[in-house]
Amino acid sequence: MNREDFPILQHDLIYFDNGATTLKPQCMIDAVVDYYSNYTANAHRGDYDNSLKVDLLYEGVRTKVQHLIDAESSNEIVFTKGCTESLNMVVFGFMKNYLQPGDEVLITKAEHASNVLPWLELEKKMGIVVKYIPLSETNEVTMERLEQTVTSRTKVISLAQVTNVIGDLRPVEQIGEFCEKHHILFVVDGAQSVPHMKVSVRDMKADFFTFSAHKMTGPTGVGVLYGKYELLQAMEPLEVGGGMNSFFESDGTFAYHDAPSKFDAGTPNIAGVIGFGAAIDFLQSIGLDKIHEHELELKRYLVQELEKVPGITVYNKEVDGAIVAFNIDGVFSQDTAVYLNHYHICVRAGNHCAKMLKDEIKVKNTCRISFYLYNTKEEIDRLIAVLQNKEELYNTIL
Ligand SMILES: Cc1ncc(COP(=O)(O)O)c(C=O)c1O
């Protein structure tokens, strides 16, 4: 759907790497160009027309994000440079002061590096304990396994809402309910969920929620950190400087603004945030429910067609999501990706930044196809035809 809105799709290109980043619609590109061409000014600083226009638009996007994820207030929305920075802010700006040595943080081996390494850093530096919720036979998180892993020292559960290799949707509402009851903080990585479905941070009772604009038709270099307001107020800014302070004096006294402004040190990515606003409008004009349905249909179709090709293993058949992880038996995943590239088919190969997942699915590297709204069944037919041509495959990679 809406293929005509994406200039890059006028080229001979089948783009199946949407989990990494998505293509950009003309309206988003236009919004960025418009800011640079017609009303460039800094944010939160000037008293002239263009500057006031920038403030209105920039803060307007905060409100759009608030509604997109169903936050209670736009003051709970912090702009960052991406999901990775948002998760680092949660861990080093808040958890570092909140947690004590011996406190437990639960994650899984299917998490993205950005939701693993900050915790491992804290484990190394201050002696918190990182524990892994064992996954089910279908590589999913179940309440039973989660509850069995929780102890009286568990202070945080930090999970992706949708994982980036298996593509499974975690039962976040049940987990949030459980966390609230047991006074455990719930951190949700929404990098692979917000682009594809309606989410509500209030329904899932998330304490912190993070995602990136570039995975949802927005520009690179923009992300979101949602936090319950009292938690954001208690969180330390990792950067300090202009725009976030209320005063500083030569006697050494200083004070910062309240959240979210205290996290806006320096000139923010104004063009990016404005482009992100256009991307949100674009997705909402189509409807996230419609996008989700379309992707599920594509996934079911792809799995059904892949099953007809001999010698292919699919690792996440049972899971309903926009992602298919597979390998051609006996072929290194990167070789498959290079072969597909000859036909201008873009897929991702490797460990997809989930380097511990191999312990669960018993395979180190996979090819990943991740869909978005503009993908079609015809593109899948083309992929299947190319995968069926084993002779050409072996000629290319040998
Ligand atoms: C589940 C998940 N979390 C976090 C990230 C990090 O996002 P970014 O690279 O935009 O910071 C990704 C990116 O692939 C992801 O898939």
Pocket test for ligand 1, best of 22, 81, 83 (most atoms within 8 A of CB): 83
Q: Mark whether 353 is an active-site residue.
A: yes
Angle (nearest 5°) at CA 222 between 217 and 223: 95
Is there a common fold for 3-24+288-397 and 26-285?
A: no
Measure 53 CA to ligand 1 centroid, in angstroms. 31
Domain borders along the chain are 3-24+288-397, 26-285
User: One-letter amino acid identity for 318?
Assistant: E
Question: What pTM did the predictor assign?
Answer: 0.96
The rounded Å distance from CA 281 to ligand 1 centre is 22
Closest by alpha carbon to 163, among 184, 135, 128?
Answer: 135
Class of domain 3-24+288-397 (CATH, top level)? alpha beta
Instruction: Please indicate whether residue 22, judged by its CB atom, sits closer than 6 Å to ligand 1.
Output: no
- CA–CA distance, 147 with 182 (Å, rounded to integer): 11
Decide: 5 and 282 in contact? Cβ < 8 Å.
yes
For 251, the token pair is 């006697």
Ligand 1 centroid–CA 163 distance in Å is 10
Q: Which CATH architecture has domain 26-285?
A: 3-Layer(aba) Sandwich (3.40)
What length does the chain have? 398
Show the tokens assigned to 249. Answer: 């004096």
Residue nearest to atom 16 of ligand 1 (CA): 164
How far apart (Å, rounded) are the C-alpha atoms in residues 304 and 208?
37
Q: Is 192 in the pocket of ligand 1 (CB under 6 A)?
A: yes
How far is residue 320's CA from residue 299's CA, in Å, rounded to a whole number?
8
pLDDT given for residue 352 in this prediction: 65
Q: How far is it, in rounded angstroms, from Cα 92 to Cα 97?
A: 8
In a 13 Å sphere around the CA of 166, the CA atoms on its Cβ side amount to 29
CB proximity list for 375: less than 8 A, separation 6 or greater: 15, 16, 18, 295, 298
Question: Whose alpha carbon is nearest atom 7 of ligand 1?
Answer: 83
First to last CA, the chain: 37
Residue 346 vs residues 5, 82, 331, 385, 394: alpha-carbon distances, Å: 19, 23, 17, 15, 19
Residue 47: predicted pLDDT: 87
* Structure token pair of residue 22: 């998505």
pLDDT in the model for residue 195: 98
> Which residue has tokens 């990494």?
20
Tokens in use for 4? 């005509």
**Going by C-beta distance under 8 Å and a sequence separation of 6 or more, which residues neighbour residue 48?**
41
Alpha helices (H) in the chain, listed in sequence order: 26-38, 49-68, 83-89, 96-98, 117-126, 143-149, 172-181, 229-234, 270-286, 288-306, 333-341, 358-361, 377-388, 390-397
Q: What does the longest C-alpha to C-alpha distance in the chain come to?
A: 76
pLDDT (tens digit, 0 to 9) for every residue of the chain, 398 residues total? 999 999 999 999 999 999 999 999 999 999 999 999 999 999 987 789 999 999 999 999 999 999 999 999 999 999 999 999 999 999 999 999 999 999 999 999 999 999 999 999 999 999 999 999 999 998 999 999 999 999 999 999 999 999 998 999 999 999 999 999 999 999 999 999 999 999 999 999 999 999 999 999 999 999 999 999 999 999 999 999 999 999 999 999 999 999 999 999 999 999 999 999 999 999 999 999 999 999 999 999 999 999 999 999 999 998 888 899 999 999 999 999 999 999 999 999 987 677 777 777 777 889 999 999 999 999 999 999 999 988 888 888 77
> Is the link from the previous residue into 260 a cis peptide, with omega within 30 of 0?
yes
